[in-house]
Amino acid sequence: MHHDNIPAAAELAPGVVRILPVGGLGEIGRNMAVFELDSSLLVLDCGVLFPEESQPGVDLILPDFTPVADRLQAIAAIVLTHGHEDHIGAVPYLLRLRPDIPVYGSKLTLAFLQAKLTEHRIKATLHEVTDGEHVSVGPFGLEFLAVNHSIPDAMAVAIRTSAGTILHTGDFKVDQLPLDGRVTDLNGFARLGDEGVDILMVDSTNAEVPGFIPSERDIIPVLDTVFAKAQGRVIVASFASHVHRIQQIINMAVAHRRKVAFVGRSMVRNMHIARDLGYLSIPAGTLVSADDLKDLPDDKAVLICTGSQGEPMAVLSRIANRDHAISVGPSDTVVLASSLIPGNETAVNRVINGLTRLGAAVVHKGNALVHVSGHASAGELRFVYNIVKPRYVLPVHGEWRHLVANAKVAESVGIDPRRILLIDDGVTVDLDDHRAVVSGYTPVGYVYVDGSSVGDLTEASLKDRRVLGEEGFISIVAVVDTVAGTVVAGPEIHERGFGEEVLAVGIDDVTAQVRAVLEQALADGIEDVHDLQQRMRRVVGKWVNATHRRRPMIVPVVVEA
């Protein structure tokens, strides 16, 4: 349900639970949901969204904290399902507003968060929870359940309240042979189903994909073949949080008698955290520093780096652009061991082409099974619906096509379409005595982080940046004497992004037109500088559009003599 024509929600009655998705519905990222009961708030996940090319200069996009900003003391806890950036990346920005909010999460999740909090110089109250643990937070009873995902220690969360029970799967899949032996707690899901789950908030990312996601172990023979064929260095790009994938690469390097180096700040930091906590096993003598690589023969080296999504400043992109101390050549093999986040296709293809041009063999998900997704596909979702038997389904975590596909999966197992809640960010759902209804709309927008500025950048500013980047810039300056009613100097036209020769075509004509318009306006007694500037803008805009088919940013300047 889109938020058009949905009124604001009424004041919440006692004993009713209100669910407000702040981010993550209609997009992959910025995941955050707020649960409210009896004047107490619970925040589930608090992640970031990474910018697209249409958002120049933006570093991160945060959830909109406006709905909780004036009620920070009411937040009983922040609960984190797992340690990915799109689920924990915005926590420091929320804790800036109130640093003592208790944060609950698994060991690895909190370790990754602590590294971020240290960078932000925030001391937080962190509570580690384990699989199967029960915790009471204000009026909410929480139960944590193990789930498989593309990061260790991921959890689903059951939220028990006086109004009913909500089960949030977090990001999950059902891997029967996980590398760490920690399987998704389907037994717990079934037990909750027998008790009665009123609302199942369920991961939608792979709802369009039929069948079941392959096991992580299915990748091992493919990686073995890649290593066996590699004549020079093997360079693997992965998410800096995908501990299982990196463990597979390390195991393969040991089997093929190669040394391993981590390259990239986030990769080095996260892998040291994972090793120190026992989630990553690195045999003695296997790990070397990036500086030691030059002393190793190429066929004895493995580099594990960031940049699998084509991020311009990440290691792999810089290697592809020959802007890094590490270079690649014809004997090298590059493995992109990750899925493609929607929207990153162009950037990733640019990196693949750059590496291929340099002679490297590039192995990626499109030509080999070097990655399996961390999200349940339709077969697994169907399985979960059948064992949980929820009264209502609320698809989360996905673009609109994923949410709709998930709704169809739920419908296919017999769930009444009227009990499937397809909603936008900001649309609230109220649960009252085991009955769920859409209750209203609370506006939530994007909050942009640009350098040290948070929330100051507006959509209008981004539009200006896009115009500057795509259409160029023209300034036109004139000096006038409003008393004498004359143009004293100019007008002069200056440009950026056109090329002097291009703009020179017809420039004398338009300068004469602008001068004539100014002189006429002054003769008519118009002395308002803003009015004169707008007249200049209209003349230049009409000319540049007709002559060059461009709509640049035009900045007219009138100086009074």
* Residue 3: band (very low, low, confident or very high) from pLDDT cuts 50, 70, 90: low
CA-based R_g, the chain, Å: 28
Q: What element of type H or E holds 330?
A: none
- Tracing tokens 């700040």 back to the chain, one arrives at 265
Highest mean pLDDT among 51-55, 173-177, 502-506 belongs to 173-177
Average pLDDT of span 99-105: 96
Please give the DSSP secondary-structure letter assigned to residue 205.
Answer: T
Phi, psi of 269 (to 5 degrees): -65, -50
pLDDT confidence band for 477 (50 / 70 / 90): confident
- State both tokens at 205: 């990312």
Task: Quote the pLDDT of residue 239.
Answer: 85
Read off the pLDDT of residues 386-402 as tens digits, 9 standing for 90 and up.
999 999 999 999 999 99
Q: Residue 179's pLDDT is what?
A: 86
Query: Would you list the DSSP string of 85-143?
Result: HHHHTTHHHHHHH-TT-EEEE-HHHHHHHHHHHHHTT---EEEE--TT-EEEETTEEEE
Tell me what pLDDT residue 162 has: 94
Confidence of residue 322 (pLDDT cuts 50, 70, 90): confident
d(CA 497, CA 469): 8
The pLDDT, as a whole number, for residue 292 is 85
Q: What share of the chain is helix, strand, coil (3-state, %, to 5)?
A: 35, 25, 40
For residues 219-239, give the mean pLDDT: 90
Indicate whether 12 pLDDT > 60. Answer: yes
CA 110 to chain centre: 19
Q: How far is 409 from 379, CA to CA, in rounded Å?
A: 9
β-pairing, 453-454 with 447-450? antiparallel
Q: What value does the mean pLDDT take over residues 107-119?
A: 94
Going from the N-terminus, what domains does the chain have, and what CATH number goes with each? Answer: 19-211+373-454 (3.60.15.10), 216-363 (3.40.50.10710), 472-560 (3.10.20.580)
Between CA 272 and CA 277 the distance in angstroms is 9
Q: How many residues does the chain have?
A: 561
What pLDDT does 480 receive?
78
Integer Cα distance of 383 and 37 in angstroms: 31
Q: Given this model, what pLDDT does residue 290 score?
A: 84
Q: Can you list the positions of beta strands (E) in 148-218?
A: 155-161, 164-168, 199-203
Query: Is residue 313 very low, low, confident or very high in pLDDT (cuts 50, 70, 90)?
Result: low
Q: Which of 127-141, 196-210, 336-350, 428-442 has the lowest mean pLDDT?
A: 336-350
Burial of 520 (0-12, 13-18, 19+ CB in 10 A): exposed
pLDDT band at 432 (very low <50, low <70, confident <90, very high): very high
Q: Is pLDDT above 80 for 407?
A: yes
| Strands, E assignment, 264-305 | 301-305
Q: What is the pLDDT of residue 312?
A: 65
The neighbour count for residue 194, using CB atoms within 10 Å, is 11
Lowest-confidence region among 179-193, 201-215, 481-495: 481-495
Cα 294 to chain center, whole Å?
35
Considering only residues 307 and 72, tell me which one the structure prediction assigns the higher pLDDT.
72
Comparing 240-254, 344-358, 430-444, the range with the smallest average pLDDT is 344-358
Which comes out higher in pLDDT, residue 349 or 417? 417
Give 100 or 466, the one with higher predicted confidence: 100
User: Does pTM top 0.85 for this prediction?
Assistant: no
- What pLDDT shows up at residue 497? 65
In angstroms, the CA 395 to CA 4 distance is 19
Over the chain, what is the mean pLDDT? 86
Per residue, what are the HEC states of 267-326? Answer: HHHHHHHHHHCCCCCCCCCCECCHHHHHHCCHHHEEEEECCCCCCCCCHHHHHHCCCCCC
Return the pLDDT at 166: 98
What angle, rounded to 10 degrees, do the helices at 186-195 and 378-388 form?
40
Mean pLDDT of 310-325: 78
* Residue that wins the pLDDT comparison between 461 and 284: 284
Could you tell me what percent of the chain has a pLDDT over 90? Answer: 50
Q: Which two tokens stand for residue 455?
A: 């929330």
Q: Do residues 167 and 201 touch, judged by C-beta distance below 8 A? A: yes
pLDDT given at position 461:
55
Whole-angstrom Cα distance, residue 355 to residue 364?
12
